Amino acid sequence: MKKLYLALLIVLLTGFCSAFSSASTITISPASISGIGMSSTATISLDSADQGLSGYVFSVYPQSPQIASITGAIFPAWATLSDASHGEGAAYTIRALDMNDAVVPGATNVLLATLNLNGVSPGSTQIVIEVKQLDDDAGNAIIPQTIPGQITVGGSSGDQILNLQLTPGWNFVGIPMVMQPGTDTAEVFRNVPSAGHSVFTYDAQKGWSIVGPKDALSPMNAYWIFTEQALTIPLRVQGPATSPRSLGSGWNIFGPPGMAQKPASDILACLSDWTYVVGFDSAHQQYQQSIIKGGSGQNSDKTPLVPGAGYWIYLSAPGQLTP
């Protein structure tokens, strides 16, 4: 009888163990960010994939989002299908599938993703990972240990940060203030997966123009940006614009000045000849209801304009938009 019990126990244990791959470790590398508004990267890697890897779903987040934030993720070549999206709070949900069996059984030091990081304030925090799903080639769950990444942010605490939240597709963004030197060009968009699309701006006299990575981002100007995935672009700003923005007759684009929402009628009080303002809903890829000078209801000029958003404005005569 004892031999029968022992045999049954061995069968049960063997069946239980076969549902899980052997223990592995996922590590997030440490990273240093030179200052507020500056960026860096941290890698997520799996030390061993004894039975291969079919895919994963992770949630990653900073323990102290007031020190550092995650702004997106880049995936390795083996990830045939991948996605990074905002989760709850400061978390990002990242997913990847290996549909071509590129990660073979026995692979070691497997790169899973590279996180884009942004410095929010000086200090140290950890990037933590929660494993929602991690499977081997046979569909068995891998139950790994996890090691968080230590993130250090240097710099001064006097800078202001405005985070631009980009959604997949076209985004219409505005520059509300003067940006910090060294972060005041379109180079801040370098990590945007643009699928080959350029950054555009518009002038009433010159029409459309392409914005190069070394071109300055002007306060109270607006820009069109395409992204394939959701991510956050931190704008490191140092203060209000010191000169007005000239707008021509007809349609112009602009970004509301300042870091607080205010009614359109207040922001545009300096422009006596404006008629319409139109924003863009990037989540639905369509224009918003127009704001009409003196309008009411859905067209009310008391509608607040959002810092970091871009807008079209129609003027019957040239004017100066003041900070």
CB 277 within 8 A of CB 194: no
* Residue found under tokens 């202001």: 160
Distance CA 231, CA 218 (A): 22
CB environment 43-74: b (16+ within 10 A), e (fewer): bbbbebbebbbbbbbbebbbebeebbbbbbbb
**How many Å apart are CA 255 and CA 244, to the nearest integer?**
12
For tokens 């910090």, the residue is 180
pLDDT tens across 117-152, in order?
A: 988 778 899 999 999 999 999 999 999 999 999 999
Domains of the chain by start residue, with CATH: 21-153 (2.60.40.680), 160-321 (no CATH)
**pLDDT tens sequence across 173-211:** 999 999 888 889 999 998 899 999 999 999 999 999 999
- Which SS3 state, helix, strand or coil, does residue 12 take? helix
pLDDT band at 7 (very low <50, low <70, confident <90, very high): very low
pLDDT surpassing 90 at residue 281 = yes
Confidence grade of residue 156 (pLDDT, cut at 50, 70, 90): low
Radius of gyration of the chain (CA): 25
- Examine the pLDDT at 310 and tell me if it is beyond 60: yes
Mean pLDDT of the chain: 88
More confident residue, 184 or 155: 184
| pLDDT band per the 50, 70, 90 thresholds, residue 304 | very high
pLDDT of residue 1: 43
Q: Which tens digits make up the pLDDT trace of 165-174?
A: 899 999 999 9
How confident is the model over 78-84, as a mean pLDDT?
94
**Mean pLDDT within 79-98:** 90
The answer to whether 239 and 184 are in contact (CB under 8 A) is no
Q: What is the pLDDT of residue 207?
A: 95
Which pair of tokens denotes residue 101? 């069996």
